[in-house]
Amino acid sequence: MIIQIIALFCCGTFYGAALYISLAQHPAALEAGVSVGGRFFPPMYKRAAPLQIALALFGFIAGVLAWLNGMGVLWLVGSLMLISVVPITLILIKPINDILLAPENDPESENTQNLLSRWGPKHWLRTIVSGGAFLVYLFAAVGQNN
């Protein structure tokens, strides 16, 4: 039971953080203007990335372990959905992150504004996928108790 709780907790926390970023933090940074958003992004990323990496990894591993322990295929499905945020990030989001985090990037430039505007919709994909993974884990956990 503890493995399922860890999986559900990590996935739910990942999803909650992603949802907060997509719904509140990133739109507020855009609304504050490129100077604020461009300067806010690097320190925000430095703090958020390690947390999100750990949550995705531990949530994935715990989900796989639950499945391997005979808790049902939904744990495997949820774990694969959750870990899919890694390639989504590497393929769609990281190229933008790399430019925004580069020392030579001008945080007040039109290019930074464009990059920040493009970043939000791509991050929504992570939010939606992690939310789906959380629902799958939740159904798996509730289904085991019935």
Q: Is 58 left (phi over 0), alpha (psi -120 to 50) or beta?
A: alpha
Q: How far is CA 9 from CA 16, 95, 113, in A?
A: 10, 29, 34
Per-residue pLDDT of the chain (146 residues; tens, 9 = 90+): 899 999 999 999 999 999 999 999 999 999 999 999 999 999 999 999 999 999 999 999 999 999 999 999 999 999 999 999 999 999 999 999 999 999 999 999 999 999 999 999 999 999 999 999 999 999 999 987 55
Sorted by sequence, the CB contacts under 8 Å of residue 55 that are 6+ apart come out as 10, 11, 13, 14, 17
Strand (E) or helix (H) holding 15: helix 2-20
- Residue 144 is predicted with a pLDDT of 72
127 lies in which domain range? 2-144
Sorted by sequence, the CB contacts under 8 Å of residue 23 that are 6+ apart come out as none
**Which of 107, 132, 97, 138 has its CA nearest to residue 18?**
132
Q: How far is CA 111 from CA 72, 96, 106, in A?
A: 47, 11, 8
Q: How far is CA 15 from the centre of its chain?
A: 6
- Residue 101 is predicted with a pLDDT of 96
Give dist(CA 68, CA 111) in Å, integer.
47
- Residue 145 is predicted with a pLDDT of 59
What does pTM read for this prediction? 0.93
**Which of 135, 131, 100, 102 has its CA nearest to residue 30?**
100
- Domains identified in the chain, total number: 1
